[in-house]
A and B are shown apart, each in its own frame.
Chain A
Amino acid sequence: MNHPNDIQVDAAVLSLRGVSKKIGSKKIVDQLSFDVQEGEVVGLLGPNGAGKTTTIRMIAGLISMTEGDVFVRGSSIRHEWKKAIRHVGAIIENPEFYPYMTGYDNLKQYQRMNDWISNERIDEVVRLVGLENAMKKKVKAYSLGMRQRLGIAQALLHEPSVLILDEPTNGLDPAGIREMRDYLKTIAREEGISILVSSHLLLEMEQLCSRVVVIQDGKLVTVRSIGENNASGHEQKNFVRVLFRVGLLEEAKNVLGSQNDAEILQVAQEQNELLVALRYKDIPDMVTALGAAQIPIYQITELKQSLEDEFLKWTGGNRIA
């Protein structure tokens, strides 16, 4: 099961090749391979316990791989860790700092570990995350959101090519989540940095990523581009799911049920709603038929399959965290 390393590892900023982690006889991560291209924001999606954190930690070299390898700008994490890790910035779980030191002292710690980081670079990243006024405060006085921002500053300090983030919005309030998302998008756009972000928050991934890698039980389930499904959704021949809210439920059921190529998926008695699967082009006919039977129609909604639905489909439902 050796994956050849000659698959253009140089083209991608980050490449995983058959990465596995075995603890005892249990495979936490099993033959995982995917790429992250220049400037791309990729989501690593999976239910709790799917191996997301383990994967992220293996990319950073915090956990050893049992099999396979990770390449960052063509350098192997296994064999040239120093060369490879130079291009990686990471926040793994919550960003943790020395609480009794100021934000600036904390960044200074990391500056001393890579000699190419100038004082100007510190000022630059601090400005980027908007922490200019908090640099002289001790980190223990920071809010979680500020700590996250200092985490981003820390990760960007050494001018990496790829940012890997493990559950970056964990514990943040909605405003904080949005802010984080905006920062990440800005960074990807302005600094041209690729981002790999793990999460189980689907909506989050939908809004942030251009592509998601779905894993479950350590195995790759699917790789999807976000937005791909919506584009083809309106084609005439495709089936869509439409929710009808009507006045006379029983009659509507009879009318819709008797139509060709329409299937009632769900009946919600209390809300007077019918979920019907039918062809897009048949929607006007359906409305005419209901109208002809003198059934009042209050609302017609097309239900798009969200990433969430797909995610549940891919991962076999109810395991979502």
Chain B
Amino acid sequence: MRSFNKLVINEWLKMSKKRSFFIPYAIVAVVAVVLAWALKRWAGDMVGSAFDYTAMMSSTHGFGQFVAMLAVIFTAGMISSEHGMGTIKFLLIRGQSRGKVLASKYVAALLFALSLIVWLNVISFASGAVLYGTEHASGAWRDIWIAGGSSLVYSIVYMSLTFMMGVLTRSTGAAMGVGMAAIVLSGITIPKSFYKYVLFPNVDLSVYSHGGHPPIDGMTLPFSIAILAVYIVLFLGASFVTFKRRDIA
């Protein structure tokens, strides 16, 4: 376990030592602050408190989707850049199994998404607190948790898809393209019964909150969670099987 943690640290450093690493955090911070100010200026009564604002920002309809996109962009390059730079050769001859190496990359990607969502919530709450105050009704915390949690799930699903594409194609562009296309496609719902088994309508779990209606009749929260779990297992299964067996030419 200790050696696995060290591998995750390695992966995290590979991401964070890049100069571009702070750009997504900067974008999130700037948008969260500017939007808070703009809403106060032009739509003063729309947002009640910092809690409202945070829940709104971190939901998949707010900025959560954008966070997923940033996570997809970072995940897309994780495997292909090792191939592209040629560093994969050194990485895989150090006595750590390929499965472990790939798992450490996936965990680092998850940590990245998680850190972005936490950052988004912290900045939103801070700027909301300054502009709107922190008065709140009961259940305000719960709303934030639902919004942030469903955004995290949303990000994880598309990151897993992108991760798989990165392993399979070894191309940053292809992985990013597929990941982004999937995020865009998730907005489209085909009102047919078979479609509920497709990934897209299930990704946004926040539709079940507040007694909301699922995109297609017959879908429930446990059903969606099960479908997502199956897809994630498939994505990761394909990634690990391919990565373990691949000849590094």
Contact = CB atoms under 8 A, between A and B. Distances in A.
B10 A96 contact: no
A115 B87 contact: no
A118 B14 CA distance: 21
A73 to B, nearest CB: 13
Interface string B57-96: 0000000000000000000000000000111011011111
B249 interface: yes
B95 A86 contact: yes
Contacts of B248: 57, 62-63
19 contacts: A57-B248, A60-B89, A60-B93, A63-B247, A63-B248, A63-B249, A64-B247, A82-B97, A93-B86, A93-B89, A94-B86, A97-B90, A98-B85, A101-B13, A101-B17, A105-B13, A109-B13, A113-B7, A115-B2
B93 A88 contact: yes
Nearest to A101: B17
A142 interface: no
A113 B104 CA distance: 12
A144 interface: no
Contact of A100 (B17, B96, B247): B17
B93 A90 contact: yes
Contact of B95 (A62, A85, A95, A105): A85
For chain A, give the interface size range.
20 to 34
A207 to B, nearest CB: 26
Closest 7 CB pairs of A and B: A96-B86, A113-B94, A62-B248, A112-B6, A63-B247, A92-B89, A60-B93
For chain B, give the interface size range.
20 to 34
A198 interface: no
A154 interface: yes
A112 B249 CA distance: 25
B219 interface: no
Contacts of A93: 86, 89
B28 to A, nearest CB: 22
B18 interface: yes
Contacts of A62: 89, 92-93, 247-248
B3 interface: yes
Interface string A59-71: 0111110000000
B192 interface: no
Contacts of B9: 112
A98 B93 contact: no
Contacts of A98: 14, 17, 85, 87
Contacts of B95: 82, 85-86, 113-114, 158
A113 B245 contact: no
B178 to A, nearest CB: 26
A99 interface: yes
A112 B10 contact: yes
Given A62-B248, A100-B18, A100-B19, A110 B85 contact: no
Interface in B93-128: 93-97
Contact of A113 (B85, B86, B89, B96): B96
Contacts of A114: 94-95
Contacts of B14: 98, 101, 109
A113 B87 contact: no
A82 B19 CA distance: 34
Contacts of B19: 100
Most buried by B among A60, A96, A114: A96
Given A93-B86, A110-B94, 16 more contacts: A57-B249, A60-B89, A61-B92, A61-B93, A62-B92, A62-B93, A62-B248, A63-B247, A64-B245, A98-B17, A100-B17, A100-B19, A101-B17, A109-B14, A112-B7, A112-B9
B183 to A, nearest CB: 28
Contacts of A158: 94-95
Nearest to B18: A100
Nearest to B89: A92
Most buried by B among A63, A85, A92, A109: A109
Interface in A147-178: 154, 158
B90 A154 contact: yes
B235 to A, nearest CB: 24
Given A86-B95, A100-B17, A100-B18, A109 B10 contact: yes
A94 B87 CA distance: 10
A105 B10 CA distance: 10
Nearest to A95: B90
Contacts of B93: 60-62, 85, 88, 90, 92
Nearest to B21: A100
Interface in B35-66: none
Interface in B199-249: 245, 247-249
Interface string B1-37: 0110011011001100111000000000000000000
Nearest to A83: B95
B247 A96 contact: no
